[in-house]
A and B are shown apart, each in its own frame.
Chain A
Amino acid sequence: MAVRTRREFLQIAGVGGVVFASGLLGGCSTPGRPAGAQDDFYFVQLSDTHWGYKGPANPEATVELPRAVELVNALPRAPDFVVFTGDLTHTTDDDQERRRRMAQFREHMGRLRVPTVRLMAGEHDASLDRGAAFQELFGPLRYAFDHKGVHFVVLDNVSHPKGILGDAQIDWLSNDLKAVPAGAPIVVFTHRPLFDLKADWDWTTADGSRAIDVLHAYPHVTVFYGHIHQEHHHRTDHIEHHAARSLVFPLPAPGSQPNRTPVPWDPSHPGRGLGLRDVDADPRQPSYLLREIPLASEA
C-alpha cells in the first residue's frame, strides 16, 4: 500500500491550500537530490504578534498569541519548525519594557510543542535599538540554515532605522549562496517585502532590489515575509513572495484606502483577518503548498 505524503493527504481531504511551484524549472527533479517521500516536510509561519500592543485596533491583543500556540500544538502532526517573521513585540521607547515584552513572548513560544522555533526581528523589535535587545534575548538578526535539502536564509531589513539591508548584508548573502548546491531550493525569510509592494506606505525595502538581483541567479527561490498583516502573493520574475497574516490586527489591502491605518476592530468578529500559515515543502519539485489557518471563524 502506497504511503501518502502529508501534501497528498491534505489535497485528498480537501483542506489543502494553494500550491506554488518555485522557480524556473517547476516539475523537474532537483539535481543531486535523492527522491523520496521522506523529503517532504512542513513548517508553520507566524508573524506580527506585536506583543505589548494596546490600542483600538485590537482591544484583546493578549489573546492571539496563546491562541496561535494552541492551534499549532493541535495540528495532527508537528511541523518540522515554526518560523516567526518579525514584529514579535510592539515597539516601546523603554528598553526595559522592550526586554520584558520579549521575555513574555519567549514564554509563550516556549509552549510550542515543535522541534525548532526560528525567530527573526521586525522593525518594532529592532529599529529603535538597532537590534540590541533582540540579539540579547533571541540571537542573531541574520542567519542561514539547511533543512532536508532546502537552504533557508533569514535576512534583516529592519534593524537599520531606514529599513535597509545594507552593503555588508548583501555581500553576506552573496557569499552564503555560493555554497548552495546548484539547483537547490532556497527559501528566504524577511520581515519587510523585498520588492516595492506599496512604497508610499513604506511596504518596501529601499535596497531590496539588490537582494533580488543576487537571488535572481538561482533558479528556485521563494520568499516568505510579514509586515503587511495580510496574505499577499507576488512574483518578481521566477521568485515568489508570500506575505502572511498578522496575529494582532489586519491592515488594509495595498492602496485600498488613503492610508495604512488598521482595519477597524469588529467586536462581533474578534480575530477576523488574523491567522497563521502552514507551508508544505516538496524540495524535489520544488513547490510549496500554502494553507492559511484563520485564528477565528471567517464566517
Chain B
Amino acid sequence: MRMAALALALLAAGGGEPPERVVQMVARRFTYTPDVIELQLGVPVVIELTSADRDHGFSVPDLGLRIDVEPGKTARVRLVPSKAGTFAFHCDVFCGSGHEEMGGRIVVSGPVPGGAAGAR
C-alpha cells in the first residue's frame, strides 16, 4: 500500500505537464543580470527576481507586467507570451544616479521546430 502511494506521488510529480521554465534575474544598481531574456511564443515561464542591494522595480509596460524587487525576497512573475516581438523592461523604483539606464528587453520569438530559447 505504501509502495502504491509512493508510486502515485512520483507519477503526480513527474507526469503530466513538464515543469515550467524558470528564469532567474538579479537586479542591482543599475543593471539586471541577465538583461536580455529570450522566450518562445506560448511557452510559459516564471521570472524570479532578487535584489543584490536595494529596492528596485521590474516593469514591462507593453506586456502589462510589473513587480517590486526587494532585498531578501524573491519576486516571481509568470508569463505566457502571447505576442512575438521585443519588449523593453526597466526599473520603475528610483534607485539613484544611473537609474535611467537600468533596463533590458524581453525577446519573444515564434515557435521554432526543434529549437529552444534560453536566457542570456
Contacts and interface: CB of A to CB of B under 8 A. Distances in A.
B90 interface: yes
Interface in A103-152: 123-124, 127-128
B62 A91 contact: no
A297 interface: no
Interface in B33-63: 55, 57, 59-62
Nearest to A162: B93
Interface string A256-267: 001111000000
Interface residues of B, number: 20
A201 B90 contact: yes
User: Which applies to chain A's interface (DSSP): helix, strand, loop or mixed?
Assistant: loop
**Residue in A128, A196, A204 with the greatest tally of chain B CB atoms within 10 Å:** A128
- Give the secondary structure class of B's interface: mixed
B59 to A, nearest CB: 8
Interface stretch (B5-13, B15-23, B77-85, B94-102): B94-102
A93 B93 contact: no
Size class of the A contact interface (CB-based, 8 Å): 20 to 34
A91 B90 CA distance: 19
Given A162-B92, A163-B92, A206-B92, A200 B97 contact: no
Contacts of A163: 92, 94
Contacts of B99: 91
A259 B93 CA distance: 17
B94 A200 contact: no
A139 B88 CA distance: 37
5 contacts: A93-B96, A162-B93, A200-B59, A200-B90, A261-B101
Closest 10 CB pairs of A and B: A199-B61, A127-B94, A200-B88, A123-B94, A200-B61, A161-B93, A161-B94, A91-B97, A162-B93, A202-B92
Interface of B: 55, 57, 59-62, 87-90, 92-97, 99-101, 103
